[in-house]
Structure formats: structure tokens, C-alpha cells
A and B are shown apart, each in its own frame.
Chain A
């Protein structure tokens, strides 16, 4: 086993393509890929072996707090095998169902994957999903059975599963304990032996794929690239195929996982590059880079990720709009699977409609907004994209989901495919499923396109007058409960006035829920003053300021907070 300390400079010319391996680790959530990555980094000396190396690659605060990987990170490892030095490039990937887009991006830069399966839990939904991604990309797949150290581990059963579901011979499975380091050396050997070298020649013209990017305040865009041919050095003038813009390479190097500048990068290698890109849009994921004097054919790009969950985001106050806008821009630079659309709400002013890959994705995004950019945001309830159909088409069904097919994985498990209306899934489905099935059921989804559904427009009325900002689209079955909830929230946030206020939720002309705010019968101070009116004036002035911020709907005074209370996500 070789080690290279941080301080030694690395001569990358010593690593021709045939001694390079590019691979990623894919797995279902919590099956141990990050731990395995830690172990690989330790074993190859990229990081010192200490207790603190738990999940080194999970750099983001939110990742550390939640114990999950959000952002794929990359690390180059040096490994000696049978007298030869190899350069192994590892790309860590997120495991949550929300983040499969990150996975597919990483895969495109690799030639093989380590497919990790928990020795007790066995094949799960994400295992399957990720397998298909790798399989479709025609990558070498090395099955790794992890956590063999645990009491309930049953590697034999899992090997059978793998054989049945993936058609991979059980002899190819490597049984390890990433935590203890057992057999991890074998994994490294397998990477060298079974994963093909990248088919990239130094003699070809320089051609690289941008598979990730980071925005650094001081240095600009840092792009992660995988070289598919040629070489590139500091000072070279390169072109990005997407925009046709030319840049000069300022800095480049390896990720170990921290940045390690070098003079050059060669075909088959993976690293980072800084080339004076300053704008979000210049670092397009899936873009091809080439030398100015030697244009090449672009590499196949990526399918844009499909957003599944939408939320409205608004600044607390319109004066904070520019700050929030720049925070969102910076954050989406590092997470291009978020779709951004400007939007405006009558109640909340100018804001955005952001699309996420799932609820977790959205929550992590929010958390990052607050932690990294100090932004305080109003988040309105997520909606799924509806196509409004003017006629009232209805699907008459008893059940909301339609079963599509069913496969028995082994004598303990069955895999079932259902067609669900997306609305049903989006909010808490994943969590509910987990809790209902005690964690055994696992879940993955595909967008099956739009289907006509029984959706209706629900209005909120104050003393008969509709409040536009609060109109929502709900499924018919949900109308009553969400209408009632909205009316209750409004009742609590609208102050009493001189007349009674009827708060109603209605569909068309039919009222489906109602709350009443009683009128004041007396609102005047019958008090002995003693000449001191200052306090009274102060109180009135405060009310005046509050009143200026209120909206008049008909003759009902509605404070701005009332809109926020009704619209925001209930946690």
C-alpha cells in the first residue's frame, strides 16, 4: 500500500490512462458508502487514519448534521498494486431517493461502480435504481456486501438476492465491513482488476466533461472535470462548448478530497479546474471543454433533472428581496437540479417558485439558505405542477393508486410498482411509508407524466369577498380539511373589528368551511387618566403603524402576517 502525503508534489504524467480507474460508490441510503469512502481514503493515505475521519467527504454543515450526503464530492487516491502505482478517482454520491440526479452525473464520469448492499437489509429500492443507472451506462459493477460485522448480517442471502435481481454471479460479491476495514483492501484490488481503464488517450485533443461545479467567492467557479482525451495545463486557453466562451486556465489539480494544485491533468484523470468563470451559467453541468485551437465534438450532455416538488419562497420583507435573490443564485449554482422560476404573490410580493427533487431536497436547500447565506425565507406550501384543464374531466376510481406490476425478489420480499398521483406522494409519503412499514418498505419514483385528476379551485372569502392571494388548488378529497385549516388559521391571525367577520372556504358558490370572528362591542378605554395621555398616544401610534401594514379586503383589515400564517408550510 502506498501513501502520498499532502506535501509531496505529484507528477501526473506518471499515470497514463491504463493506470487510472474512475469509479463511484452507489448504494441505498445508509448502507455505508460514505464509511467505505472514508476507509478507502485512509487506506490510500489521502487522509490520516484517525477517529475523526467519519464521513470526511460530507463537507457541508447540513450533511454533517443530518448524517447524509447531499453533494457528490470527489477524491483521487493513489494505490500500489502488484508493484504498479494506480490513480483511483472516487466519486462519492448521495443515497437518498431525491438525489438520483447527482448519482447519474457522477456515473457519467466513471467506468465502474461499487454497488454496496447492506448485509442485513439486502437489496433496497435505491440499490435497484442506482444499479439501473450504472447498467444503462454500461459500467462495470462490483457488488460489495457491507456491514458483515453486525449481528444480523446474512451475506449469503444477500448474495442470492443480487444474483436474482441483478443477474450478477454471487462469486463476484465482496463481503466487507467498512467500519472495521475488513476486506476493504480487496475492494481496491477489484477496482484495479475489474474496472476498465478510461478509454482516453493523451494523444487525442483535450476533451473534458464538466460533471460538477462549486462557486468560490474569491476564485470564481471551480469545475470538476473528467478528461476524455488529451491534456490540459495552466495557462491553456479552453472553450466551453455550451456557451462558446473562451477562458484561460488559472489553476487545476486533483481533489484529495481537498484541492491539490498540479501543473497538468491528463486523459482519463479527474480533477478540478479554475478558469476565470464568474457566472453561474458558465459552469454548465454536462458541458464539454476543449482547447481553443482544437475544437472537438461535444460529449453527450445530461438530461435535466425533473423537479417533483415545488415550493414558493419569499423574502420576509420586500426590502430583503435582492439579498435572497443572490443567495438563491449562489446556492443553485452548486445545485443545478433545483429549478428556479420568478413568481409573485399578491400577499407576499415578489419571490420565486423553486422545484426540487423531493421534500428532503427542499428541506436541505432551505437549511443551506439559512446556514450558509443567513437568509430568512417564507416558504409556502409545496404544490405539484398541475396542468389546468378547462373542462372538468374526472377519473372515476375507487383507489387513488393503480397497481402496475409485482415481482418477488426472494422469499421475503416483493417489489411492487404502482401508478400514484404525484400529489399523493409529495408531501410526507416517504416518511409515512417508512414508519408504516417499520422501515422495511423502500420507495423510488419516476414521473409518469400528467394525468387528469379531480382537482378543484378553492377560494377563501372574508365577509363574502374572495381573497385572491389565498386561492388554492386542492384535490377534492382534501378540500374540506384544508379549507377548514385555512379558516382556522385566519381566525387566529385577523384581529377583531367593529363588525363580525365571516371567514369561509368555498368551492364555486358552495361554502365548505367557516369560522366566525366576533365583533367588538366595546373598544374604548374607560379609564381615569390623571392628565397622562402620553401612554395612550404611544399605544395608538403603534396601532397606526400596524394598520399601515394591513390590507383592506372589503372592509376587513388583514395584517400581512395573516397571509403568511395561512400560506406557509405547517411543520
Chain B
């Protein structure tokens, strides 16, 4: 009998923001009235309900995102953590991350958040150029961001992450490089690099369409990415995922869980989860999404304990596909043992060893398939999305072939 996975990570969404950044298309709302108390209560309730449903015995990490979770009252954080600890085992060492918007207000609360149980901060710096912060619609200055970083480092040294964005309007490779140098002087041991993507419906998208703003060309952003990778490497950071870099092993355990295909519950409006609802007698992992609008979500949680809007069962192939796509984003890739947990009958070599195209990736040095497992090389990681379709085609082909031959064998020898 396969060992059940008895732990998961949990992520909670505080959906409110004071304003919407010009590039953002996340599920977030400007709260008009103060219903923090109700929101808190519902977060507790849903956390409890979903943990029960998953029947896990242990939560390994907790993540507060959103919205702007640093707008929530530290008591809200404490309450949710209390609920988790009440239902499952939550180790003292468990990573508890809070996303922080580096305004003075946010900074002033950091200490209270620590008291509430937060032991890691992820600060949305995005840019150190004040002009750019305006274009991005941020409500803080770079100075304030630097101060927030400082405070966070004081409270939780070695456990502070900084988010920065490249591919911003008017950005050049040179300005990016100097910005990075500035950042590297003051940041802690974890950096997340995100590329600005223009999403339909955002203000920035409209402005670019209208010709009022422009983003750098593809080749320029490619260069920015490569330079950043190199620079961070030179400063002792290990790139462990497409966008994530850590020194002194300060990786984000929460995010690692995603990429390693672990189960997770998503709590709060618009949150996403992936777990097996053993509590209902479920057998397959499900992809779940909670109701998006806070008011509606609140009502649903009040009525039936949780506000799950969508549940989709993930079949064997679909689960494997997610494991593949997420796993390949890590520089360590997917090791054989890990793959075996999800695909006990078909190993990595069996799936990918025969394809001519994959062989070409291997030969050109973009992909590595060896005793450890399957992963991208330094060069390969930058073009991962060009290789994934081929890998997915192979995965589909081999799993269905295996399925057919199993069925045939059963038919000819049903024992």
C-alpha cells in the first residue's frame, strides 16, 4: 500500500488592497467597509473545514498572500495560525510567510506580525526607482522599501525575501544592472525575480496598447534575465527555480512544495488548492478554487463552512503533467524517486528516453537526464517553455501506451 501524504502546506489569501497596481490582475479588492472581523472569522472557518477535508495530520508551511496581507491585522494572522495548530500539528519550525507591502504602515506592523507567529517576510519591492514605482502604481517610495527591508531583517534575519520586477516600461539593461547592485547591497538571503507581463484588463496593458507606454523588446528582457542570473550567482545566490534565488539555503519551503507537487489547501477568496478530499471519501487529487468575490465568499463560508467554487478531479495523466511542468522549473528538476511517487510504473527514462526531440534537447545540453533525474541546464532553464510541449507530448504518448498494453495483458491473462 502506498504511503499517504499526510502533510501539506496551506496558503491564505487576504483579498484586500488599498489600491490596484497598474499591472496587477490578481483577485483583489478595495475594501469599502471594515469587515475585517468577519473576514477573519471566515478565514478561520474555511481553514478548519479544508484541513478536515484533507485529513492531513501535519502542516509544513503557511503562506499569507493576497491582496495585501500586511493590511490585515496581526490578530487575523494569529487567529488563522491558531486554527491550524488546533486542527493539525504545526511545528514551531514550520515556515510562516507573510507578504509585505513596504509602506510605512506595513513596516510598523512587522513586529506585531512576528508576535502573531510570522517567521518569514516576502517584501514586494518591485523597483528601486521612484519614477518606475509611480508607473507601476505602487504606493510607496524606494526609500520606504529599503527601510522596510531593514526592519524585516532586524526581526527575522536570514528569512527575508525581496521581490523585484524586470521588463518594466522604460527600463534598460544598464538601469536594471545598477538597480540590482543597489538591491544586493541591502537585501537578505532570498530574491524573487519576476518579469512584468502585460495582462488584459490592466491599466498598464491599456496604456501600452494606446501607445502611452512601452515595454522593452523581447530580446532586451531576455538579456535582463540572463544578466540578473549571472549577477546573483556572482553574489553567492543559488538559483533554485526559474524566478527564485537563495543564499545560505534560505529557500522558500512553501513554494518548493508547489514545485514538488505536494498537496496544499487554498483558503480565502480566489485561493487555489490541490489535495485529495479524503474526508469525503475522495481518492483523486482535486484542483480547487475558492469563490472570488469576498462578499459572496463570506456568505458561502457562513452557510456551509467553506466557499469552494470549483473542484476538478485530476486524472493520473493530468497529475503527472503538473508534476512535470512544475518540477522542471526547479534547477534540481525531478528526481527519479520523486517521479516514482506519482508514476510508480513508468520511470523518467521510459517516458523520455525514446523521443528523438528529447534526445536533441539532451544532446544540445539543454536538458539533463541522468541517475539523479530529469532537469534543465543553465541554458535550458531560460527556454523551458520551448521544451515543455515536446515533453508533454511524450508523457501523453507513453502513459497511454502503457495503459493500453496493461489492458491488453489483463484481457489475455485476467488473474
- Residues on A lying within 8 angstroms of B by beta carbon are 497-498, 518, 520-534, 536-537, 540-541, 543-544, 546-548, 552, 555
A-B contact pairs, 20 of them (CB 8 A): A498-B366, A518-B219, A520-B386, A522-B382, A522-B383, A524-B383, A525-B197, A526-B193, A527-B243, A528-B192, A530-B11, A531-B264, A531-B266, A533-B258, A534-B272, A534-B289, A536-B325, A537-B322, A543-B389, A547-B390
- The answer on a CB contact under 8 Å between B325 and A533 is yes
A-contacting 9-mer, from B139-147, B221-229, B343-351: B221-229
A529 to B271, CA, bound (A): 11
State how many angstroms separate the Cβ of B212 from the closest Cβ of chain A: 24
Given the interface contacts A524-B382, A540-B389, does A530 sit within 8 Å of B272 by beta carbon? Answer: yes
Closest to B192 in A: A528
Contact of B287 among A534, A547, A548 (CB under 8 A): A534
A533 and B383 form a contact (CB under 8 A) = no
How far is A518 from B321 in the complex, measured between Cα atoms in Å?
Answer: 29
Report the minimal beta-carbon distance from B165 to chain A, rounded to whole angstroms: 9
Interface centre among A497, A531, A541 (most CB of B within 10 A): A531
8 Å CB interface, B336-395 against A: 357, 360, 364, 366, 381-390, 392-393
Give every chain B residue within 8 A of A497 (Cβ-Cβ). Answer: 386
- Chain B residues near A521: list those with CB within 8 A: 219, 222-223, 226, 382-383
Decide: A541 near B392, CB < 8 A? Known: A521-B226, A531-B11, A533-B325.
yes
B392-A544 in contact (CB<8A): yes
Kindly count the residue-residue contacts between A and B in the assembled complex, taking CB atoms under 8 Å apart.
101
| CB-based contact B389/A544 at 8 Å | yes
Contact flags B144-172 to A (C-beta < 8 A → 1, else 0)? 00000000000000000001000000000
Closest to B225 in A: A522
Given known A-B contacts A522-B225, A524-B383, A525-B242, A533 and B322 have beta carbons under 8 A apart: yes
Asked whether any CB of chain A lies closer than 8 Å to the CB of B396, the reply is: yes
Whether a CB of chain A sits under 8 angstroms from the CB of B65 is: yes
The answer to whether B326 has its CB under 8 Å from any CB of chain A is yes
Q: Which of B303-347 contact A (CB under 8 A)?
A: 321-322, 325-326, 329
Within 8 A of A (CB), among B205-224: 218-219, 221-223
Select from chain A the residue with minimum beta-carbon distance to B379.
A498
Q: Judging by beta carbons under 8 Å apart, are B242 and A498 in contact?
A: no
Among residues of A, the one whose C-beta sits closest to the C-beta of B163 is A528
B273–chain A nearest beta-carbon distance, Å: 7
* Given A524-B381, A528-B243, A546-B389, 16 more pairs with CB closer than 8 A: A498-B366, A498-B383, A520-B222, A523-B382, A523-B385, A525-B385, A526-B194, A526-B225, A528-B163, A530-B272, A531-B11, A532-B289, A533-B272, A537-B325, A544-B389, A544-B396
A526 and B383 within 8 A (CB): no
Q: Taking each of A518, A528, A537, A544, which has the highest tally of chain B beta carbons within 10 Å of its own beta carbon?
A: A528
Which residues of chain B have C-beta atoms less than 8 A from A530's C-beta?
Answer: 11, 26, 65, 272
Q: Residues of B at under 8 Å CB distance from A? A: 11, 26, 65, 163, 192-195, 197, 218-219, 221-223, 225-226, 242-243, 258, 264, 266, 271-273, 287, 289, 321-322, 325-326, 329, 357, 360, 364, 366, 381-390, 392-393, 396
Q: Which 5 A-B pairs have the closest CB atoms?
A: A521-B222, A522-B222, A531-B272, A524-B384, A526-B195
The CA-CA distance from A521 to B381 in the complex, in Å, is: 10
Q: Which A residue's beta carbon lies closest to that of B265? A: A531
Please, how many angstroms separate the alpha-carbon atoms of A540 and B384 in the complex? 11
> How far is it, in angstroms, between the C-alpha of A520 and the C-alpha of B266 when the chains are bound?
35
User: What distance in Å separates the Cβ of B62 from its nearest Cβ neighbour in chain A?
Assistant: 13
Given A533-B325, A534-B287, A537-B321: A526 and B264 interface contact (C-beta under 8 Å): no
How far, in angstroms, from A548 to B329 measured CA to CA in the complex? 23
CB distance from B263 to the nearest CB of A (A): 12
Min C-beta distance of B186 to chain A, whole Å: 21
Closest to B361 in A: A498
Contacts of A520 in B (CB 8 A): 222, 383, 386
Report B-chain residues with C-beta under 8 Å of the C-beta of A529: 258
Query: What secondary structure prevails in chain A residues at the interface with B?
Result: loop
- Please give me the residue from chain A that is nearest to B384 by CB atom: A524
Q: What is the CB-to-nearest-CB distance from B310 to chain A, in angstroms, rounded to a whole number?
A: 9
Complex Cα spacing A540 to B221, Å: 22
Bound CA–CA A548/B390 (angstroms): 9
CB atoms of A498 and B272 under 8 A apart: no
Given A527-B197, A529-B258, answer yes or no on A540-B225 (Cβ-Cβ < 8 Å).
Answer: no
Nearest Cβ in chain B — how far from A501, in angstroms? 13
Asked whether A547 lies within 8 Å of B26 as measured between CB atoms, the reply is no
Of B218, B223, B388, the residue contacting A540 (CB under 8 A) is B388
Within the assembled complex, what's the spacing in Å between the Cα atoms of A531 and B195? 17
B218: A residues at CB distance < 8 A: 522
Q: In the complex, A552 Cα to B258 Cα: how many Å?
A: 34
Bound complex: CA A537 to CA B321 (Å): 8
Q: CA separation between A541 and B324, bound complex, in Å?
A: 13
Q: For residue B65, which residue of chain A has the nearest CB?
A: A530
Nearest B residue to A536 by beta-carbon distance?
Answer: B325
Q: How far is the CB of B192 from chain A (nearest CB, A)?
A: 7
Given A530-B26, A534-B287, A544-B325 contact (CB < 8 Å):
no
The residue on A at minimum CB distance from B366 is A498
Query: How far in angstroms is the closest Cβ of chain B from A346?
Result: 19
Smallest Cβ distance from A1 to chain B, in angstroms? 71
> Which of chain B's residues have a CB closer than 8 A to the CB of A546?
389
In the complex, chain A residues whose CB is within 8 Å of the CB of B163: 528
Chain A residues closer than 8 Å to B393, beta-carbon distance: 544, 547-548
Contact B65–A522 (Cβ < 8 Å): no
With a cutoff of 8 Å between Cβ atoms, the chain B residues found around residue A523 in the complex are: 382-386
**Closest chain A CB from B229 CB (angstroms):** 10
Pairwise interchain contact A526-B242, C-beta atoms closer than 8 A = yes
- Residues of B contacting A537 in the complex (Cβ-Cβ under 8 angstroms): 321-322, 325
CB distance from B181 to the nearest CB of A (A): 20
Residue among B65, B243, B383, B390 facing the most chain A CB atoms (10 A cut-off): B383
> A552 CA to B390 CA in the complex, in Å?
12
List B contacts of A522 (CB < 8 A): 218, 221-222, 225-226, 382-383
A528 / chain B contacts, CB cutoff of 8 Å: 163, 192, 194, 243
**Is the Cβ of A531 less than 8 Å from the Cβ of B258?**
yes
In whole Å, how far is A181's beta carbon from the nearest beta carbon of chain B? 62
Write the chain B residue with the least CB distance to A495. B386
In Å, the complex CA distance between A548 and B392 comes to: 11
Q: A531-B11, A531-B273, A534-B287 are in contact. Are A498 and B386 (CB under 8 A)?
A: yes
Output the least CB separation between B75 and chain A (Å): 24
Can you name the residue of chain B whose Cβ is closest to the Cβ of A547?
B389
Pick from B219, B243, B289, B326: contact of A526, CB below 8 A.
B243
**Complex: A387 Cα to B326 Cα, angstroms:** 58
Residues of chain B within 8 A of A527, CB atoms compared: 194-195, 197, 243
- If the complex has contacts A498-B366, A531-B11, are A524 and B65 also in contact, measured as CB distance less than 8 A? no
CB of B99 to closest CB in A, whole Å: 10
**What are the residues of chain B within 8 A of A534 when measuring CB–CB?**
272, 287, 289
Q: Complex formed: what's the CA distance from A527 to B11 in Å? A: 18
Question: B385 to chain A: which residues have CB within 8 Å?
Answer: 523-525, 540
In the complex, which residues of chain A have a beta carbon less than 8 angstroms from the beta carbon of B386?
497-498, 520, 523
Least distance between A555 CB and chain B CB atoms (Å): 6
Q: Which residue of A lies closest to B228 (CB)?
A: A526
Chain A residue nearest in CB terms to B273? A531
Minimum CB–CB distance for A545 against chain B, Å: 9
The docked-state distance in angstroms from the alpha carbon of A532 to that of B25 is 13
Give Cα A531 to B219, complex, Å. Answer: 28
